[in-house]
C-alpha cells in the first residue's frame, strides 16, 4: 500500500488487468501509472489469476463488474487521487496520482476499502511518517493547493464570520454511495440555518459547476435568509479560514476543512468521517478509532495513493507530486489570462513561448491587449501602465545568455525588478516576509542548498580551466561584471566600473592577495567591461576559471552587484558589497554602499535561499518541457541532462563572434 512501491519497474512480473472502459487505454498517464504499479492493461477476457479494472463506480463500471463476476476474477477499482491536476479531468488534464483499491472504493461505505483498512488497522504512529504529513499539510495551505487548483489566491474571500455550505455536482458517485440526494443537501442547509440562526450562509459551488460541466444541488431559489453563492474561483483555504463552521455531504473540501482546523458537520459517509474529527449526522458504527489530523492525512495522502513523478516517468512520493502540482499551478495562475510580450528580441521568443504559453499562446506586440497581461524584459520601457517584468533566474543554464543559450529559469516581477533598488521588487517583499516560513519550507531550502553545493552549481555552470598556483595570504576574489548591465547602471554608487572596483579593493586591502575574475561575457568579447591594466591591482587574473572554483579559492569576495556574491554566501564565504545587489542590506553582507531602508528583515541564508531560488523564479524542465520545481533543474544541471540549444541559436551565436561589435542587436530587451 506504500506509494513508494515501484515493484513493476524493479522487474517483478506484472499482473494482467483487463479493462472495459476506453479511458484506461486512451489516457496515457492513467495507463502509465497502472503499468508502473504492476498492472499490464489489456482487452479481452481474464483468467482467475488476472484482475478486472473499473473506474470507481462510474457508469462504465458495471461492464467490468459483470465480467469479474462471471469469471470469478477480483476487481481493481481505480480513482483519481485527492491531489489531481490544475484543471478538472473533463478539461483534458492528466492526474498526478491514482487510487488503486483492491477492496472497494474510498467513498462507498458499503464496503471496507483499502483506505479504510489503513485508517482502522495500520499503527500510523511512525514519527517520520507523521512529520511528513504535517509538512505536506502546511504546504497545501501555504501554496493554496487542492485537488483542482484553477483558482486565484489573490481573489478576496467573503468577510469572515459565515457558515460554509459545500455543494457537490448532481450525480456525484460519492453522494449516491452515501445514500444522499438533493433532499439531503436541502436538509443540510436547513440544519445549518437552525444551528447558526444569526450567521451568513455561504454556499460554495463545485469547480465543474463553475465551469459549466455539471449542475449542482443548490439553485437561486435557495438563496434566502442571508444565503449567497460563492462561484468565483476563490481559494478554498481562504474560505475555510473565514468560516465559523463547515457543512458537507461527502465533498473532499470537508477533508480539507479538517486540515484547516475545523470539525466539519458531515451528512454523508465519506472516508474522513467516523474517526473523531467530524460531527457525523449519519454515523458509521464500524468506525470507532480516534485519529489525529496528521494520521488521517498520512493514510489518505501518503500510504494510500500511487503518485506519479512526471519528470522521471516513475512512481513518486507525495512530496514529488506536491512539487509538480505546485509548479503546474503556478504556471496556470500566472499564464491563463495570456501574455503580450512587448519589445522582445526574436531569439528569445521561443523560450518565452515555452515558458509562459502553456495555457494560452503568447502574443508579441508593442501595445497592450487586455485582458492579457503585458510582459517586458528587465528594466526596459513599458507600453503598459502595470507591466510585469521578466528576467533570467539565478539557476539559469549551462551556458551564457549572451551566447543565446535558453534559460531554464525566469523571474516575473509585478512590483519592480530585483536588481533595481530604487523601488520595491517582488523579491524584496518575499525576503522581507521570509520570517514566516514553515519548518517544511526551511527544510526544503536546506536540502536545495545542499544539492547546489554538492553539484557545484552556479548561474551559468560553465566549465573552467585548471586552477593556477596562488600566492600565500588572505585571498580576496573580485568578480568582474558587464559594465552596461542594468544591475550596474541601477544598483551602484561611486564605484561603477571593474577598474574602479579593483582600485577600491586594493586601497582597502593593501596586503591581500587579490584574485580578479573577468566576466565570461567580457572574456568572450560580447560585452563591455575589460580592464586593460587589471594586473596593476590584482595579483592573479582568473581567466576562464569557473565561478564555483573561483569562490573556493577565496577567503572573501568583494563585488559591486554580481550574482557571484550570492553564490559565495551559499558557500559561507564573507561578501563585501560596494553596490546594492538583491542580497545586500539584509545583515548577511558587509555593505559599503547606500542602504535600502525598505530592507528591514534579517533572514538567515536558508530564508534568503527560499525567497531567491524557490519563491521568486519559475523553472522549466528542458526534458519534459513543462513547469518544474527548482530541484529538477538542479538535478538536470548536475547530471548534464540538458539538451543543447537549437540549431538556429547555435548559428546565431557563432555569428556573434564575428560581429561582436553589433551585440546590441541580440542582447538586452527580450
Domains of the chain by residue range: 145-300, 317-432+645-665, 462-615
pLDDT > 80? residue 131:
yes
Confidence of residue 91 (pLDDT cuts 50, 70, 90): confident
Q: What is the pLDDT of residues 472-530, one digit of tens each?
A: 999 999 999 999 999 999 999 999 999 999 999 999 999 999 999 999 889 888 889 99
Please tell me the predicted confidence (pLDDT) of residue 654.
Answer: 46
Rounded to 5°, angle at Cα 453 from 450 and 457: 130
Count of other CB atoms within 10 angstroms of residue 298: 28
Q: Is 381 helix (H, G, I), strand (E, B) or coil?
A: coil
| Residue 665, C-alpha cell as written in the block | 542587436
Show the beta-strand stretches assigned E in 387-500.
388-392, 409-413, 475-479
Please tell me the predicted confidence (pLDDT) of residue 401.
Answer: 59
pLDDT > 70? residue 2:
no
Q: Is 89 exposed, middle or buried (0-12, 13-18, 19+ CB in 10 A)?
A: middle
Confidence of residue 6 (pLDDT cuts 50, 70, 90): very low
- pTM for the structure as a whole: 0.92
Please tell me the predicted confidence (pLDDT) of residue 642.
Answer: 87
Q: Which fold has domain 462-615?
A: Rossmann fold (3.40.50)
Confidence of residue 342 (pLDDT cuts 50, 70, 90): very high
Q: What interhelical angle do 346-356 and 647-658 show, nearest 10?
A: 150
pLDDT > 50? residue 599:
yes
Please tell me the predicted confidence (pLDDT) of residue 666.
Answer: 45
Distance in angstroms (rounded) separating the CA atoms of residues 478 and 541: 10
Please tell me the predicted confidence (pLDDT) of residue 662.
Answer: 54
Distance in angstroms (rounded) separating the CA atoms of residues 400 and 439: 35
Please tell me the predicted confidence (pLDDT) of residue 11.
Answer: 43
Distances in Å between the Cα of 108 and the Cα atoms of 111, 177, 301 are: 6, 5, 18
Confidence of residue 384 (pLDDT cuts 50, 70, 90): confident
To the nearest whole number, what is the mean pLDDT of the chain?
A: 92
User: Sheet holding 388-392: strands in order across?
Assistant: 363-364, 339-342, 373-377, 388-392, 409-413, 617-620, 627-628
H or E stretch including 202?
Answer: strand 200-204
Average pLDDT over residues 325-340: 98
Distance in angstroms (rounded) separating the CA atoms of residues 162 and 170: 24
Q: What is the pLDDT of residues 254-265, one digit of tens each?
A: 999 999 999 999
Segment among 2-11, 89-98, 224-233, 531-540 with least mean pLDDT = 2-11
Segment among 161-175, 353-367, 459-473 with least mean pLDDT = 459-473
Please tell me the predicted confidence (pLDDT) of residue 548.
Answer: 95
Distance in angstroms (rounded) separating the CA atoms of residues 256 and 240: 8
pLDDT > 50? residue 652:
no
Dihedral, 283, 287, 288, 294 alpha carbons, nearest 10 = -110
Please tell me the predicted confidence (pLDDT) of residue 12.
Answer: 58
Average pLDDT over residues 234-260: 97
| 37 close to 31: Cβ distance less than 8 angstroms | no
Confidence of residue 648 (pLDDT cuts 50, 70, 90): low
Dihedral, 578, 583, 584, 590 alpha carbons, nearest 10 = -80
Domain 145-300 and domain 462-615, same fold? Reply is yes
Class of domain 145-300: alpha beta
Amino acid at each position: 500500500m506504500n506509494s513508494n512501491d515501484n515493484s513493476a519497474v524493479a522487474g517483478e512480473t506484472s499482473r494482467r488487468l483487463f479493462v472495459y472502459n476506453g479511458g484506461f487505454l486512451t489516457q496515457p498517464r492513467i495507463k502509465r501509472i497502472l503499468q508502473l504499479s504492476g498492472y499490464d492493461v489489456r482487452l479481452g477476457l481474464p483468467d482467475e489469476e488476472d484482475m478486472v479494472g473499473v473506474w470507481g463506480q462510474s457508469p462504465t463500471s458495471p461492464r467490468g463488474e459483470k465480467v469479474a463476476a462471471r469469471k470469478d476474477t477480483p476487481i481493481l477499482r481505480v480513482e483519481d487521487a485527492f491531489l489531481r491536476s490544475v484543471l478538472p479531468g473533463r478539461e483534458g488534464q492528466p492526474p498526478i496520482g491514482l487510487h488503486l483499491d483492491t477492496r472497494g472504493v474510498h467513498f462507498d461505505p458499503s464496503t471496507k476499502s483499502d483506505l479504510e483498512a489503513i485508517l482502522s488497522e495500520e499503527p500510523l504512529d511512525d514519527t517520520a511518517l507523521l512529520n511528513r504529513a504535517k509538512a505536506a499539510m502546511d504546504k497545501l495551505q501555504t501554496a493554496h493547493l487542492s485537488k483542482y487548483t484553477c483558482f486565484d489566491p489573490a481573489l478576496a474571500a467573503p468577510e469572515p464570520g459565515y457558515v460554509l455550505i459545500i455543494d457537490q455536482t448532481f450525480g456525484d458517485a460519492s453522494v449516491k454511495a452515501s445514500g444522499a440526494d438533493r433532499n439531503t443537501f436541502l436538509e443540510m442547509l436547513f440544519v445549518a440555518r437552525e444551528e447558526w440562526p444569526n450567521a451568513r450562509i455561504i454556499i460554495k459551488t463545485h469547480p465543474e459547476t463553475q465551469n459549466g460541466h455539471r449542475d449542482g444541488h443548490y439553485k437561486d431559489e435557495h438563496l434566502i435568509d442571508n444565503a449567497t453563492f460563492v462561484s468565483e474561483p476563490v481559494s478554498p483555504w481562504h474560505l475555510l479560514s473565514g468560516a465559523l463552521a463547515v457543512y458537507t455531504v461527502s465533498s473532499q473540501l470537508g477533508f480539507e476543512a479538517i486540515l484547516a482546523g475545523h470539525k466539519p458537520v458531515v451528512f454523508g459517509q465519506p472516508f474522513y468521517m467516523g474517526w473523531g474529527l467530524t460531527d457525523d449526522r449519519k454515523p458509521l458504527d464500524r468506525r470507532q478509532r480516534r485519529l489525529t489530523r496528521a494520521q488521517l492525512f498520512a493514510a489518505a495522502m501518503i500510504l494510500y495513493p500511487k503518485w506519479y513523478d512526471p519528470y522521471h516517468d516513475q512512481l513518486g512520493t507525495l512530496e514529488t507530486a506536491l512539487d509538480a502540482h505546485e509548479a503546474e499551478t503556478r504556471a496556470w495562475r500566472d499564464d491563463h489570462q495570456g501574455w503580450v510580450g512587448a519589445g522582445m528580441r526574436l531569439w528569445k521568443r521561443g523560450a518565452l513561448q515555452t515558458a509562459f504559453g502553456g495555457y494560452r499562446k503568447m502574443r508579441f506586440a508593442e501595445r497592450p491587449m487586455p485582458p492579457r497581461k503585458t510582459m517586458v524584459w528587465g528594466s526596459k520601457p513599458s507600453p503598459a501602465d502595470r507591466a510585469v517584468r521578466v528576467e533570467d533566474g539565478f539557476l539559469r543554464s549551462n551556458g551564457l545568455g549572451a551566447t543565446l543559450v535558453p534559460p531554464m529559469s525566469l523571474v516575473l516581477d509585478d512590483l519592480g525588478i530585483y536588481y533595481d533598488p530604487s523601488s520595491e521588487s517582488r523579491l524584496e517583499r518575499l525576503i522581507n516576509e521570509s520570517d514566516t516560513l514553515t519548518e517544511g519550507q526551511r527544510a526544503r531550502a536546506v536540502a536545495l542548498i545542499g544539492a547546489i553545493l554538492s553539484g557545484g552549481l552556479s548561474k551559468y555552470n560553465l566549465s573552467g580551466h585548471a586552477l593556477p598556483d596562488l600566492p600565500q595570504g588572505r585571498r580576496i576574489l573580485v568578480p568582474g561584471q558587464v559594465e552596461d548591465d542594468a544591475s550596474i547602471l541601477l544598483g551602484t554608487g561611486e564605484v561603477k566600473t571593474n577598474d574602479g572596483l579593483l582600485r577600491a579593493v586594493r586601497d582597502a586591502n593593501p596586503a591581500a592577495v587579490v584574485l580578479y575574475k573577468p566576466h565570461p561575457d567580457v572574456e568572450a568579447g560580447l560585452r563591455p567591461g575589460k580592464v586593460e591594466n587589471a594586473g596593476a591591482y590584482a595579483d592573479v587574473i582568473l581567466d576562464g576559471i569557473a565561478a564555483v572554483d573561483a569562490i573556493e579559492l577565496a577567503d572573501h569576495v568583494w563585488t559591486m552587484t554580481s550574482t557571484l556574491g550570492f553564490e559565495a554566501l551559499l558557500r559561507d564565504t564573507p561578501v563585501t558589497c560596494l553596490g546594492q545587489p538583491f542580497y545586500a542590506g539584509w545583515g548577511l553582507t558587509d555593505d559599503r554602499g547606500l542602504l535600502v531602508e525598505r530592507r528591514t528583515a534579517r533572514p538567515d541564508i536558508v530564508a534568503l535561499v527560499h525567497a531567491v531560488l524557490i519563491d521568486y523564479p519559475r523553472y522549466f524542465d528542458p526534458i519534459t518541457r513543462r513547469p518544474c520545481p527548482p530541484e529538477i533543474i538542479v538535478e538536470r544541471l548536475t547530471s548534464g541532462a540538458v539538451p543543447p540549444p537549437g540549431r538556429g541559436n547555435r548559428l546565431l551565436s557563432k555569428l556573434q563572434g564575428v560581429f561582436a561589435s553589433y551585440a546590441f542587436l541580440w542582447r538586452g530587451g527580450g
